[in-house]
Amino acid sequence: MNEKTTTEKMDFYTFQKTLRDDTQTWVDLANESFGLDLTVNVSFDLKGRTAGQAFTSKGLIKYNLAAYNVEGGIEHLINHTVPHEVAHMVQYNNPQWPNDRKSNSSHGNYWKLVMNHFGVEATRCHSLPLPTARTVKKQFKYVCGCKEWNLTAIRHNKIVRGTRVYSCPECKVVLRQNNNQLHY
């Protein structure tokens, strides 16, 4: 497929439709080229600095629509991220290739083979300035034997659920909550 360029910014609905349509076009090419019968669903709920992500066992590709607001983001998602993620779907759903991550690493030889077949540069990462997924706001006070710690809500909840224990790397004492006080 030829690279697409846009001189005018397409509207948000058209952007989503283009991502869906182009994903299907790449999947159709992959099915024809590699003798597969892939079906891929698309969602737009990916957050953070990742432009796209393939969930190969679920037949799902997620795209980060924050790229819509970044200079060059529309073209990058259409021309690079879409084939990049479809290549992951091919590499892990091709029954003739190893399905384990040791023999068939995420951006290894099989993925590169698909990208080369697609005629797209096999680059692992993008350079779009996408925003982080979230900002840590709540912090919980914990203490050990030598000082006070501020833990994120995620770590605090793991302690509360009993799924994780944190210890001070210096005094080796298990952290315990200090009066359930919050820091903001």
Q: Indicate which residue of 3, 71, 85, 148 is catalytic.
A: 85
CB atoms within 10 A of CB 147: 10
Determine whether 75 is an active site residue: no
> At what angle are helices 109-118 and 12-34 packed, to 10 degrees?
110
Report the chain's C-alpha Rg in angstroms: 22
CA atoms within 13 A on the CB side of 165: 5
Cα 88 to Cα 118: distance, rounded to the nearest angstrom: 12
Please give the backbone phi and psi of residue 141, each rounded to the nearest 5 degrees, phi first: -80, 130
Q: Among candidates 63, 69, 41, which has minimal Cα distance to 50?
A: 63
Cα 36 to Cα 51: distance, rounded to the nearest angstrom: 25
> At what angle are helices 82-93 and 12-34 packed, to 10 degrees?
30
Catalytic residues: 85
